[in-house]
Chain A
């Protein structure tokens, strides 16, 4: 085994030396790209979507690139080690795909100035660190429109993780979409205070269904909500991934992230030498979010209606958070114009139509 390794290293070194001697041939060496995932890739969820993005990029760029990934990396001291390992192995572009990888990424980036880093969902940048996030709330609005057309009870259940802006954007956008179709419909929210606890997610979904919701959706990581709806013969809107496998009848649609086109652009920019540490927050326009995986309960006419809204958001004629915006306690947040990114990131209220009182921090 060890001999083997040495032989490989020697071979690689020789090859590298030849390439170096050959000069221009170096350009033909594929760009090595590394990925760090926070959870196992599995079959659905956040990391699964990231990996679909990686595969999409591989398909687009072919043998111009070579990718590798490390999955199930805890957000902490281990992350830094993994990121540094990837940099030392010669990866010139490294995607770190979870909020908690932010500080390790910045730290390693300082030690490897010639390696480019792209960090998802964080806010810290450096000359060689770009950030990326998705405006999934745009897709939530469209999902709300869909729910508005389908709900009969006028009550939709929402299993949330924590009452933080990211989650509230989704709940509020969904509610606005819902009420754009059915003005008297309401959204009931249960925060399970966990990103991942299938048992609690399921109990929360069942509680919502017991209280009259005929559609449930979720901002948590497991497929438990969709499965619960399937068992009860009700509908669900999945998040992160298409979960139709877990709820073939229940799933109306799924709100999904799409990293493939973005990853491809970033890799292409590195190949072209035009890469910049941009801060991207992309939605429908950038093809970073989608509503897909329509179930049997959604007919073509409704699908077309939903896709119309999608197009309107993409070309900017429809703004999800356009005034007037009123909280569910009757306070006017915005009388004219539309909420800007700063306002979105500071969201700490439920809009009209959400049942319940949000605890302010």
Chain B
């Protein structure tokens, strides 16, 4: 039981950047645009957020600048793919590669700088035995990510704006015919997604591993991309998936340290195996795909043609 609390706490921590980024990407994709630039956006935000925090001493400013950096990059991407009609996959990959380079240059003077790791806990609840250390001694953004998942589930399926967003992703032509500004809605969705990826990146360098080193996001942007089909484009399933992905990694570490005789390579593979398994599963059921995957995902829409 004693070993379980830190395991749960670590899994929540590990799942949070994945969840933040995946929720942002989900909103992108619900509007019909796929942005493969998440890794790059996260890296730039991690570098900038860290630099800002070192300079100003305020992690709040670090998070804000991280989110803004993500949104800015997403804005650039939006201009390319929504207005100029460029290929989404190619531009997304370019954005990721661009982000790797840019973040390295931003972060260069900050390699080796240290910031204080956050220590924050929910008053009263944090002192409870077991549940306290497991659930209530986290950075506020861990709860923020949870709240975001709930808020987005509500937004997408209970509000008019959410309905419009989904309509744009399903059939931009119809949404356009009804008089909705498809391009601007997609821009808004992309900016939101970029800001979420930015928050996820800043979380990496300010909370999860409070340091900056080149490439420290280490592929989590790509895992977040895999999480949206894993979750069949549902925010609450993203929540489950992110904790599962984070949790499996942590669990494999604890099992190794205990000497459980399972190959570490195999355990490292599990999250990806799980994604493939889910993809196969949902592909077999045509209705699941049809209901959730935005029909126009990845297609260029030109209102003038």
- Excluding A191-B256, A191-B264, A202-B209, 8 further A-B contacts by CB distance (< 8 Å) are A188-B259, A189-B256, A196-B218, A198-B216, A198-B218, A207-B250, A210-B7, A210-B254
Task: Please tell me if B208 contacts chain A, counting CB pairs below 8 Å.
Answer: yes
Determine if A355 and B259 form an interchain contact, defined as CB atoms under 8 angstroms apart: yes
Q: Which residues of B contact A188 (CB under 8 A)?
A: 257-259
Per a CB cutoff under 8 Å, which of A157, A199, A211 touches B14? Answer: A199
- What's the nearest-Cβ distance from chain B to residue A156, in Å? 11
Interface size on A, residues (CB 8 A): 39
Find residues 207-251 in chain B having any chain A CB closer than 8 Å to their own CB: 208-211, 213-216, 218-220, 249-250
CA distance A200 to B16 in the complex (A): 14
Chain B residue at minimal CB-CB distance from A189: B256
CA distance A245 to B112 in the complex (A): 8
Task: Please tell me if B163 contacts chain A, counting CB pairs below 8 Å.
Answer: no
- What's the nearest-Cβ distance from chain B to residue A300, in Å? 28
- What's the nearest-Cβ distance from chain B to residue A80, in Å? 21
Q: Which residues of A contact B14 (CB under 8 A)?
A: 199, 203
- What's the nearest-Cβ distance from chain B to residue A98, in Å? 15
Determine if B104 and A199 form an interchain contact, defined as CB atoms under 8 angstroms apart: no
Q: Which of B210, B250, B257 has the most CB of A within 10 A?
A: B257
Q: Which residues of A contact B114 (CB under 8 A)?
A: 227, 245-246
Q: Which residues of A contact B7 (CB under 8 A)?
A: 207, 210
Find residues 174-210 in chain A having any chain B CB closer than 8 Å to their own CB: 188-194, 196-200, 202-204, 206-208, 210
Task: Please tell me if A356 contacts chain B, counting CB pairs below 8 Å.
Answer: yes
Determine if B249 and A203 form an interchain contact, defined as CB atoms under 8 angstroms apart: yes
Chain A residue at minimal CB-CB distance from B256: A190
Task: Please tell me if B1 contacts chain A, counting CB pairs below 8 Å.
Answer: no
CA distance A298 to B117 in the complex (A): 25
Q: Which residues of B contact A227 (CB under 8 A)?
A: 114, 117, 209-211
Task: Please tell me if A222 contacts chain B, counting CB pairs below 8 Å.
Answer: yes
CA distance A222 to B228 in the complex (A): 30
- What's the nearest-Cβ distance from chain B to residue A155, in Å? 9
Q: Which residues of B contact A170 (CB under 8 A)?
A: none
Task: Please tell me if B10 contacts chain A, counting CB pairs below 8 Å.
Answer: yes
Q: Which residues of B contact A357 (CB under 8 A)?
A: 259, 261
Find residues 168-221 in chain B having any chain A CB closer than 8 Å to their own CB: 204, 208-211, 213-216, 218-220
**B residues lining the A interface (CB < 8 Å):** 3, 6-7, 10, 14, 104, 108, 111-112, 114, 117, 204, 208-211, 213-216, 218-220, 249-250, 253-254, 256-261, 263-266, 268
Q: Which residues of A contact B266 (CB under 8 A)?
A: 359
- What's the nearest-Cβ distance from chain A to residue B218, in Å? 4
Q: Which residues of A contact B3 (CB under 8 A)?
A: 210-211
Q: Which of A39, A163, A211, A245 has the most CB of B within 10 A?
A: A211
CA distance A359 to B104 in the complex (A): 36
Determine if A190 and B215 form an interchain contact, defined as CB atoms under 8 angstroms apart: no
Query: What are 7 inter-chain pairs, A to B, with CB distance below 8 A?
Result: A42-B112, A190-B264, A200-B249, A206-B6, A223-B112, A227-B117, A246-B112
Chain A residue at minimal CB-CB distance from B257: A188
Q: Which residues of A contact B219 (CB under 8 A)?
A: 197
Find residues 141-184 in chain A having any chain B CB closer than 8 Å to their own CB: 157, 163
Find residues 272-309 in chain A having any chain B CB closer than 8 Å to their own CB: none
Determine if A202 and B208 form an interchain contact, defined as CB atoms under 8 angstroms apart: yes
Q: Which residues of A contact B256 (CB under 8 A)?
A: 189-191, 356
Q: Which residues of A contact B218 (CB under 8 A)?
A: 194, 196-200
Q: Which residues of A contact B259 (CB under 8 A)?
A: 188, 355-357
CA distance A207 to B213 in the complex (A): 22
Task: Please tell me if A347 contacts chain B, counting CB pairs below 8 Å.
Answer: no
- What's the nearest-Cβ distance from chain B to residue A255, in Å? 19
Determine if A231 and B209 form an interchain contact, defined as CB atoms under 8 angstroms apart: no
- What's the nearest-Cβ distance from chain B to residue A277, in Å? 34
Q: Which of A194, A222, A356 has the most CB of B within 10 A?
A: A356
